[in-house]
Structure 1
Amino acid sequence: MDVYVVRHGQTEWNVKGLLQGSSDVELTEAGHAQAAATSAALAGILDSNTTVVTSPLVRARDTADAIARALGTGVEVDARLRERAYGAWEGITPEERESNWPEEVKAWRTYGSADVPGFEHHDIVRQRMVEAIEEWAERAQGPLLVVSHGSSARVGMQGLVGLPLDHRTLGNLGNAAWSRLTRRSRGDWTLERHNVTPETLGEKP
């Protein structure tokens, strides 16, 4: 089966370079436009037989709602698809992170994790993302489309295809971009396309 992992559209915090994590930040006007463009592109590939599941955070939910409307289907919500919690780093500027946590920022840039109060580490994010996607893939009668977030989606996909988590072996998804995976059985996954946008959809993998 085919599984599509979609990142939400742009938010104001994306524009400002702030980590959102568990903070509930709405889409910008540009983010809604991105979600609409992605919805139209995916409607040319998928149909109402697609199961759409989303993170409960509003930026993901609004993106999922736009896609589901275009496909003529409904939306399920799964809290396991939420973004990684960044704890004390959420909503502060990069300069504040550098000033107050210089060693932790260095570790984060090298390994993707940091010992910061409230920071959710790789193994926890991977576990919940993989569990959620595997379970929904078992239940889906057709293609599965998951709407999530930049960090949790990346770590989840690394977990599904067995890539190590000690560094960024997979690049981030852009806003309203998606990846397509194929699943033959539980634990047997292939990443077919990554970071696809409406503009790059027709390009060869």
Structure 2
Amino acid sequence: MANYPKIWFLRHGQTEWNRAYRLQGQLDSPLTEQGIADAHRQAAIIGPVLAQKPDIYVSPLGRTRQTAQIALAGTACHYDDRLMEIHAGDWQGRLREDILAESGDWAQQRPSALAIYEKAVGGEGLAAFQARIRSFLDDLTGPTVVVAHGLWGQVMRAQVRGLDMKTAGHLSNDQGCVYVLENGYETLLDAPQ
């Protein structure tokens, strides 16, 4: 387990495609009303952290930009392509239920979202995704706020905590909260709904 600086991780708020169980990958859909409320809940949590002047990095995709604008109250940030969600190849934009319906016996195993993206035809694949996330983590020099994506967060959190990738796909994947990672441990900060 590597020794990374303290990280506050925010997953973007719920999107139209999250609600429909449509694979987004590096495509985009807008935040729902719930997604906007998720970002406001994060703002209530992260405000005192921002006063500490941490580094702030945001995925350049629209749903994370929209979340960051609300949750970080317009605080200046850096956009980093390494924070984009895993690319799901030919499956981007498709409904999860349609993909599983075509997958025969594999669907009976009830794969995690990360396992589905890993298997995506023409997708980025887990090894490349993990390498991209490690590259980002290795460049951190101090306490950092990160606004990114669900699967990105699962893999990053597993990496920081020293967990294997099979476990990563089963970590919580909540919106509207902040995951705090420090010294190999994770704490979930939540605000009232």
Q: TM-score range by the shorter chain?
A: 0.7 to 0.9
* CA distance in structure 2 between the aligned counterparts of 1:117 and 1:169, rounded to whole angstroms: 19
Deviation at 1:105, TM superposition (A): 4.2
Structure 2 match to 1:191: 185
8 Å CA contact retained: 1:54, 1:64: yes
* CA distance in structure 1 between the aligned counterparts of 2:120 and 2:146, rounded to whole angstroms: 28
8 Å CA contact retained: 1:151, 1:172: no
* CA distance in structure 2 between the aligned counterparts of 1:179 and 1:66, rounded to whole angstroms: 17
- Check if 1:55 corresponds to 2:49: no
- Check if 1:120 corresponds to 2:135: no
Matches within 5 A, 1:136-147: 137-138=140-141, 140=142, 143-147=143-147
1:26-76 deviation digits (Å, cap 9, x = unpaired)? 212221221122112211344161221111111011112223326xx3011
Q: 1:90–1:108: structure 2 CA closer, same or farther, 3 Å change rule? A: farther
* CA distance in structure 1 between the aligned counterparts of 2:131 and 2:13, rounded to whole angstroms: 24
1:91-119 deviation digits (Å, cap 9, x = unpaired)? 22233112223355457816825433222
* CA distance in structure 2 between the aligned counterparts of 1:8 and 1:27, rounded to whole angstroms: 8
Matches within 5 A, 1:45-194: 45-47=49-51, 49-69=53-73, 73-103=75-105, 105=107, 109=111, 112=115, 114-135=118-139, 137-138=140-141, 140=142, 143-168=143-168, 170-182=170-182, 189-194=183-188
Runs of 5+ unmatched residues, structure 2: none
Runs of 5+ unmatched residues, structure 1: 183-188, 201-205
* CA distance in structure 2 between the aligned counterparts of 1:133 and 1:64, rounded to whole angstroms: 19
Deviation at 1:167, TM superposition (A): 4.1
Helix, strand or coil: the match of 2:56?
Answer: strand
Structure 2 match to 1:186: none
* CA distance in structure 2 between the aligned counterparts of 1:181 and 1:122, rounded to whole angstroms: 22
Letter in 2 for 1:112: A
Query: RMSD of aligned C-alpha atoms?
Result: 2.4
Q: 1:83–1:105: structure 2 CA closer, same or farther, 3 Å change rule? A: farther
* CA distance in structure 2 between the aligned counterparts of 1:32 and 1:115, rounded to whole angstroms: 31
- Check if 1:3 corresponds to 2:7: yes
Letter in 1 for 2:192: E
Letter in 1 for 2:20: K
8 Å CA contact retained: 1:129, 1:153: no
Helix, strand or coil: the match of 1:130?
Answer: helix
8 Å CA contact retained: 2:57, 2:78: yes
Helix, strand or coil: the match of 1:56?
Answer: coil
Q: 1:176–1:117: structure 2 CA closer, same or farther, 3 Å change rule? A: same
Sequence identity percentage: 26
